[in-house]
């Protein structure tokens, strides 16, 4: 097994990652790096983290064999890593628990977060309530309108939701605004980034907290199937659920890793969010990575039926895994994701998040091309209750 030890000390994954922020943020990031480096190796911190994951989040999440759906597809067996069964219904909570524990040890009393669909906002508001911290969530004003239920959920949990009216009024603008808050209030404030993007140490730290997904999977696969899967499949917006599953497998080169991006209305239209499949490298939100941008380097508005994949950047480690060929990246359309959503509901009695439905849709394409004794492990990163209104609307039904 080759040793994989990225990122380097300054957060670089090959040419990607790094710390591309204004001087005003550097000292806050330096402090965060120092503290995280310490607690990463601190047994007491790690013990508390795993205790919280067990008793509060409900881990380990099982691996479930989607037998009826696999039989229907007529090829490889599809296994689901059930992150949808976590408290709050998605993988996001793994990271917010880890960062909130770090924030407490750093003496910060206020946490801020950005959110698109609201899942990371809800996960942040949840841990803020759990640990008795003030929580402010920035959310694009367009998203506030589209995600009324999650906005209310965050308020029930005691968070303040701040609508952001600048730019395209979506996730990327919420991230800009959260950064501005952090610069201004860095003394008492901890910024919980929800994905493996942003400046160092966020891509590494969020990966480490999410790696529980892949570490559990390796153990569960060995115990229950006596071997590792032939391929891992996960959806990629910023890429945190995918890296969480992939990272512990990077050294196992006979396990394929496939990241599935949102092709929206098609990658040949302007309405998609397939950053790695169609984008070019650039600098945004503190790191160098692939971006969806115009020829002048302005960031273009993205589209996906799934708000959690609707982001013009992607985690720098994915950019690196793409370039070095260790992981493959593909894209599926809104329509393909919706079909997979319905299939999983009908064949397995599981309602997946629209984000995760992208991974499922690719699994449904790949499985029939493989032998029946081959295993595909799909990260079912979240549950789909939050998406019912969107799905109903697509079917011409108003709830």
Catalytically annotated residues = 92, 114, 381
Cα pseudo-dihedral 378, 381, 385, 389, rounded to 10: -90
Distance CA 64, CA 87 (A): 18
> Smallest gap, in angstroms, from Cβ of residue 135 to another protein?
21
Stretch binding another protein (CB under 8 A), from 120-128, 139-147, 183-191, 257-265: 183-191
Q: Where does residue 269 fall: left (phi above 0), alpha (psi -120 to 50 degrees), or beta otherwise?
A: beta
Instruction: Tell me: does residue 176 bind another protein (CB under 8 A).
Output: yes
Stretch binding another protein (CB under 8 A), from 15-23, 78-86, 91-99, 268-276: 15-23
Closest to another protein by CB, 10 or 51: 10
Which residues, including other chains, have CB under 8 Å from residue 72's CB and lie 6 or more apart? 343, 347
Instruction: Tell me: does residue 237 bind another protein (CB under 8 A).
Output: no
> Pattern of binders to another protein over 280-299, x per CB under 8 A?
xxxxxxx-x--x-x-xxxxx
Distance CA 305, CA 387 (A): 10
Q: What 3-state DSSP class applies to 22?
A: coil
> Smallest gap, in angstroms, from Cβ of residue 174 to another protein?
11
Token pair belonging to 177: 């605004």
Token pair belonging to 95: 């990271």
Q: Which helix (H) or strand (E) segment is 379 a member of? A: strand 375-380
Closest to another protein by CB, 282 or 335: 282
Instruction: Tell me: does residue 179 bind another protein (CB under 8 A).
Output: yes
Closest to another protein by CB, 283 or 324: 283
Closest to another protein by CB, 158 or 167: 167
> Smallest gap, in angstroms, from Cβ of residue 275 to another protein?
14
Are 169 and 140 in contact by the 8 Å Cβ rule? The answer is: yes
Instruction: Tell me: does residue 18 bind another protein (CB under 8 A).
Output: yes
Q: Which of 170, 166, 92, 164 is nearest to 125 (CA)?
A: 92
Beta bridge partners of 380: 82
Stretch binding another protein (CB under 8 A), from 18-26, 84-92, 143-151, 247-255: 18-26
Instruction: Tell me: does residue 26 bind another protein (CB under 8 A).
Output: yes
> Smallest gap, in angstroms, from Cβ of residue 84 to another protein?
32
Total chain residues near another protein (CB under 8 A): 36
- Count, residues in the chain: 399
Distance CA 148, CA 368 (A): 39
Closest to another protein by CB, 183 or 389: 183
Stretch binding another protein (CB under 8 A), from 64-72, 137-145, 178-186, 375-383: 178-186
Beta bridge partners of 261: 331
> Pattern of binders to another protein over 294-333, x per CB under 8 A?
-xxxxx----------------------------------
> Smallest gap, in angstroms, from Cβ of residue 46 to another protein?
29
Instruction: Tell me: does residue 28 bind another protein (CB under 8 A).
Output: yes
Are 96 and 123 in contact by the 8 Å Cβ rule? The answer is: yes
Instruction: Tell me: does residue 225 bind another protein (CB under 8 A).
Output: no
Tell me the CA distances in angstroms from 307 to 33, 118, 140, one per residue in order. 30, 9, 11
Angle subtended at Cα 10 by Cα 9 and Cα 13, rounded to the nearest 5 degrees? 90
Identify the residue whose tokens are 């920035």: 138
Q: Which of 27, 47, 149, 219 binds another protein (CB under 8 A)?
A: 27
Catalog residues that contact another protein under the rule CB under 8 A. 10, 18-24, 26-28, 166-167, 172-173, 176, 179-180, 183-184, 186, 280-286, 288, 291, 293, 295-299
């Amino acid at each position: 097994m080759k040793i994989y030890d990225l990122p380097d000390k300054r957060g670089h994954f090959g040419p990607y990652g790094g710390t591309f922020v204004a001087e005003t943020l550097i000292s806050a990031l330096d402090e965060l790096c120092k503290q995280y480096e310490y607690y990463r190796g601190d047994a007491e911190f790690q013990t508390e983290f795993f205790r919280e994951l067990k008793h509060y989040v409900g881990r380990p999440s099982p691996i479930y064999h989607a037998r009826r759906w696999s039989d229907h597809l007529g090829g490889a067996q599809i296994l689901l890593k059930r992150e949808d069964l976590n408290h709050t219904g998605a993988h996001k909570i793994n990271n917010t628990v880890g960062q909130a524990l770090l924030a407490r040890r750093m003496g910060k009393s206020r946490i801020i977060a950005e959110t698109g669909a609201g899942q990371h906002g809800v996960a942040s508001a949840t841990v803020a309530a759990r640990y008795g911290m003030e929580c402010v969530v920035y959310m694009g004003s367009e998203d506030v309108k589209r995600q009324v239920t999650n906005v209310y959920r965050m308020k029930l949990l005691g968070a303040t939701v701040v609508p952001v009216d600048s730019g395209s009024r979506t996730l990327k603008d919420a991230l800009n605004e959260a950064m501005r808050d952090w610069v201004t209030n860095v003394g008492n404030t901890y910024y919980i980034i929800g994905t493996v993007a942003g400046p160092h140490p966020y891509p590494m730290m969020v990966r480490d907290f999410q790696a529980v997904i892949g570490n559990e999977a390796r153990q569960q696969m060995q115990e229950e199937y006596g071997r590792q899967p032939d391929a891992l499949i996960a959806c990629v917006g910023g890429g945190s659920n995918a890296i969480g599953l992939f990272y512990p497998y990077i050294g196992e080169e006979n396990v394929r890793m496939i990241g599935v991006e949102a092709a929206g209305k098609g990658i040949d239209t302007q309405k998609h969010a397939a950053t790695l499949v169609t984008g070019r490298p650039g600098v945004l939100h503190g790191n160098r990575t692939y971006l969806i941008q115009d020829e002048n380097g302005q960031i273009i508005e993205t589209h996906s039926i799934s708000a959690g994949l609707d982001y013009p950047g992607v985690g720098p480690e994915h950019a690196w895994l793409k370039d070095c060929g260790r992981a493959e990246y593909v894209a599926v359309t809104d329509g393909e994701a919706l079909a997979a959503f319905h299939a999983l509901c009908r064949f397995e009695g599981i309602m997946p998040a629209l984000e995760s439905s992208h991974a499922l849709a690719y699994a449904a394409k790949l499985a029939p091309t493989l032998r029946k004794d081959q295993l595909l492990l799909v990260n079912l990163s979240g549950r789909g209750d939050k998406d019912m209104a969107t799905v109903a609307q697509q079917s011409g039904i108003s709830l």
